[in-house]
Amino acid sequence: MGFYKRYRDTFLVVLLLSVPFFFLRASISRPEEMNGLDRALLRVATPVQWFAGALARQSSRLVSEYVYLLDIRKDNDRLSREVLTLRNDVRQLRQVSVENERLKKLLGLKESMSVDTVSGVVSTKGTTEYFRIAHLVVDPGEIPVQKNMPVVSLDGVVGVVRRIEGDAATVSLVSDAGFGVDVVSSRTGARGFIRGTGDDAHYRADVELVQRSDELEVGDLLVTSGHGCRFPRGLPVAVVSSIKKKNFGSYQSVEARPTVDFSRLEEVLIIVGGVKDCRAAKGSR
- CATH, residue 141: 2.40.10.350
pLDDT, residue 107, reads: 76
Which of 202, 127, 117 has its CA nearest to residue 152? 117
- Do 135 and 262 belong together in one domain? yes
For residue 125, what are the contacts with CB-CB under 8 A and spacing of at least 6?
Answer: 133, 135, 136, 137, 262, 263, 265
Domain end, chosen from 21, 41, 63, is at 63
If asked whether residues 122 and 24 sit together in one domain, one would say: no
Nearest to 184 by CA among 124, 143, 228, 122: 228
For residues 158 and 55, membership in a common domain is answered with no
84 occurs within a structural domain: no
Nearest 10 degrees: Cα torsion 139, 144, 147, 153: -50
Res 56: pLDDT: 65
Final residue belonging to a domain, choices 47, 63, 79? 63
Residues 44 and 145 in one domain: no
For helices 2-28 and 36-112, what crossing angle results, to 10°?
Answer: 80
- Residue 278 has a pLDDT of 59
In a domain, 185, yes or no: yes
Are 51 and 185 within one domain?
Answer: no
Classify residue 17: in a domain, yes or no.
Answer: yes
Q: What's residue 279's pLDDT?
A: 47
- Whole-structure pTM value: 0.65
Note whether 35 and 133 are same-domain residues.
no
Nearest to 192 by CA among 178, 204, 176, 180: 180
CA distances from 72 to 25, 68, 77, 85 (A): 46, 6, 9, 20
Reduced to 3 states (helix: H, G, I; strand: E, B; else coil), residue 198 is coil
Question: What length does the chain have?
Answer: 285
Give the total number of structural domains in the chain. 2
- Based on the domain organization, do 249 and 142 belong to the same domain? yes
Report if residue 131 sits inside a domain. yes
pLDDT at 162: 92
Hey, which residues does 133 pair with through a beta bridge?
127
| pLDDT in single tens digits along all 285 residues of the chain | 555 555 665 666 555 555 554 554 545 445 555 555 555 655 655 665 566 666 666 766 777 777 777 778 888 888 888 888 888 888 888 877 777 777 777 777 777 787 888 888 999 999 888 889 988 999 987 778 889 999 999 999 999 999 998 889 999 999 999 899 999 999 999 999 999 999 999 999 999 999 988 999 999 999 999 887 789 899 999 999 999 887 777 889 999 999 999 999 999 999 987 766 554 444 443
| C-beta separation of 138 from 150 below 8 A | no
Report the phi/psi class of residue 156: left, alpha or beta, with left for phi > 0 and alpha for psi in -120 to 50.
Answer: left
57 shares a domain with 159: no
DSSP letters for 201-244: SS--EEEE--BTTS---TT-EEEE--TTSSS-TT-EEEEEEEEE
Integer Cα distance of 198 and 134 in angstroms: 9
pLDDT of residue 284: 40
Does the residue 32 lie in any domain? yes
Q: Is residue 226 part of a domain?
A: yes
Alpha carbons 51 and 58: distance in angstroms, whole number = 10
Residue at 40 is within a domain: yes
CA distance 283 to 268: 29
> Both 160 and 271 in a single domain?
yes
Which of 63, 82, 102 terminates a domain? The answer is 63
Range of the domain at 158: 117-282
Within this chain, do residues 51 and 172 fall inside the same structural domain, yes or no? Answer: no
Please tell me whether residues 42 and 130 are part of one structural domain: no
89 in a domain, yes or no? no
pLDDT at 19: 55
Question: Is residue 125 domain-shared with residue 226, that is, in the same domain?
Answer: yes
Q: 79-101: string of b/e by CB count within 10 Å (b at 16+)?
A: eeeeeeeeeeeeeeeeeeeeeee
User: Which residues touch 220 (CB under 8 Å, ≥6 apart)?
Assistant: 185, 186, 187, 188, 190, 239, 240
**pLDDT in the model for residue 6:** 57
